[in-house]
């Protein structure tokens, strides 16, 4: 995994942006790909290189298990190498995937979230999409499966970059998507050009959620849609839970808002047609440890005697889906 090999990360053909930003992106990517100081990066690079032995033109992105390659594309020996390489890219938090017949049963069954979200989405056919905090790109691929013209994901976490390119490198010339390993805040300030902007599982991690929503707005085309999925506290009032320490074991949860507070933040950010579509407490079947993510998972962060509470005594993780439009 090196920058020369991934120089197409800079060919963001579907986007129009300032030339100065392109050179600043080049510098940022050079810095990312020279992160040999990151303890696991060499291991991930070598796993991604090993995965290049897999070659196929077969993929299927519109099914719950995202499928790339088929088992019979590989010899038994190649399958063994692939299995080891995929294992060294653990933890697989997002998925599921089937990679040349190996079923990556990730911690999260992201197909369940995507199914909920699909109910409220405008058609993605021929749309240009930004997915902020895209993880390993599971949803990028599902968006392509739903007919999107072009998808850009941004996520600075390197293991997710390695997982994404490990999976798609055998087909990535054919697919119209990029995962940029940079923080969202490093995008040019006002792209104004995505038909649909997604922020799923990100808002409660932001120290300034209102600023996050305003930034999403700046990247949305006028008349375009923003789709927010976030942890909420399921109460009627406009309020937020600010955890003093952890929330369900997570250190970086700054604020868990109520749905009406999210709606007023969206309003304040300039959106119209703000809709709350769905509120659901996360089920243990949707987030659980598997052989591909062997650390603690949701069940370990709930009160063992009362699953309606976290181990810290907060309401158990509950997520809501909102959509809104940037006015014409």
Ligand X SMILES: C[S@@+](CC[C@H](N)C(=O)[O-])C[C@H]1O[C@@H](n2cnc3c(N)ncnc32)[C@H](O)[C@@H]1O
302 binds ligand X per the rule CB under 6 A: no
Q: In what helix (H) or strand (E) does residue 323 lie, and over which residues does it extend?
A: strand 318-325
Nearest by Cα to 269 from 229, 212, 320: 212
% helix, strand, coil for the chain, step of 5:
30, 25, 45
Can you list the pairs that 280-285 forms with residues at least 24 positions away whose Cβ atoms lie under 8 Å? 280/116, 280/318, 280/319, 280/320, 281/234, 281/308, 281/316, 281/317, 281/318, 282/316, 282/317, 282/318, 282/319, 285/109
Burial 279-296 (b: 16+ CB within 10 A, else e): ebebeeebbbebebbeee
Question: Contacting ligand X (CB under 6 A), which of 67, 107, 155, 195?
Answer: 155
Question: Contacting ligand X (CB under 6 A), which of 137, 201, 209, 315?
Answer: 201
Indicate the SS3 state at residue 214.
Answer: helix
Question: Contacting ligand X (CB under 6 A), which of 82, 117, 202, 213?
Answer: 202
* Least distance between ligand X and beta carbon 250 (Å): 9
Tokens of 270: 């300039």
280 binds ligand X per the rule CB under 6 A: no
* Least distance between ligand X and beta carbon 57 (Å): 28
132 binds ligand X per the rule CB under 6 A: yes
Residue with the two structure tokens 């009362």:
306
Tokens of 254: 């700054």
The two most distant CA atoms of the chain are separated, in Å, by 59
68 binds ligand X per the rule CB under 6 A: no
156 binds ligand X per the rule CB under 6 A: yes
* Least distance between ligand X and beta carbon 293 (Å): 13
C-alpha–C-alpha distance, residues 69 and 45, integer Å: 21
* Least distance between ligand X and beta carbon 76 (Å): 34
315 binds ligand X per the rule CB under 6 A: no
C-alpha–C-alpha distance, residues 261 and 240, integer Å: 7
* Least distance between ligand X and beta carbon 202 (Å): 5
Nearest by Cα to 112 from 278, 262, 303, 224: 278
Question: Contacting ligand X (CB under 6 A), which of 154, 162, 221, 261?
Answer: 154
Question: Contacting ligand X (CB under 6 A), which of 46, 56, 90, 157?
Answer: 157
94 binds ligand X per the rule CB under 6 A: yes
Phi, psi of 114 (to 5 degrees): -60, -40
Q: Which is nearer to ligand X, 79 or 255 (CB)?
A: 255
* Least distance between ligand X and beta carbon 75 (Å): 34
* Least distance between ligand X and beta carbon 56 (Å): 26
* Least distance between ligand X and beta carbon 242 (Å): 18
Question: Contacting ligand X (CB under 6 A), which of 69, 95, 96, 133?
Answer: 133
Total residues binding ligand X (CB under 6 A): 18
Instruction: Give the binding site for ligand X (CB under 6 A).
Output: 94, 110, 132-135, 154-157, 160, 183-185, 200-202, 205
């Amino acid at each position: 995994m090196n920058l020369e090999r991934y120089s197409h990360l800079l060919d963001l053909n579907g986007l129009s942006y300032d030339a100065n930003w392109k050179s600043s992106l080049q510098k940022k990517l050079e810095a990312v790909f020279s992160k040999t100081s990151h303890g696991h990066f060499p291991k991930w690079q070598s796993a991604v290189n090993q995965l290049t032995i897999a070659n196929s033109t077969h993929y299927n992105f519109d099914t719950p298990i995202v499928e790339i390659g088929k088992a019979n594309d590989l010899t038994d020996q190649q399958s063994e190498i692939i299995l080891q390489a995929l294992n060294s890219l653990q933890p697989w938090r997002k998925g599921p995937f089937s990679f040349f017949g190996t079923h990556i049963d990730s911690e999260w069954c992201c197909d369940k979230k995507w199914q909920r979200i699909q109910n409220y989405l405008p058609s993605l056919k021929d749309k240009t999409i930004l997915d902020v905090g895209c993880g390993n790109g599971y949803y990028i691929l599902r968006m392509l499966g739903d007919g999107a013209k072009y998808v850009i994901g941004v996520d600075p976490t390197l293991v997710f970059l390695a997982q994404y390119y490990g999976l798609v490198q055998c087909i990535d010339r054919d697919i119209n998507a990029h995962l940029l390993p940079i923080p969202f805040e490093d995008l040019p300030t006002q792209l104004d050009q995505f038909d649909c902007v997604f922020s799923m599982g990100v808002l409660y991690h932001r120290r300034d959620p209102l600023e996050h929503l305003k930034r999403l707005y700046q990247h949305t085309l006028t008349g375009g849609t923003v789709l927010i999925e976030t942890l909420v506290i399921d109460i009627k009032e406009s309020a937020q839970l600010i955890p003093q320490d952890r929330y369900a074991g997570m250190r970086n949860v700054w604020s868990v808002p109520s749905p009406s507070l999210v709606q007023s933040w969206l309003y304040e950010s300039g959106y119209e047609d703000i809709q709350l579509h769905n509120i659901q407490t996360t089920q243990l079947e949707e987030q659980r440890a598997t052989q591909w993510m062997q650390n603690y998972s949701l069940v370990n962060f709930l009160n063992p005697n009362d699953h309606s509470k976290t181990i810290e005594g907060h309401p158990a993780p509950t997520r809501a889906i909102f959509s809104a439009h940037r006015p014409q």
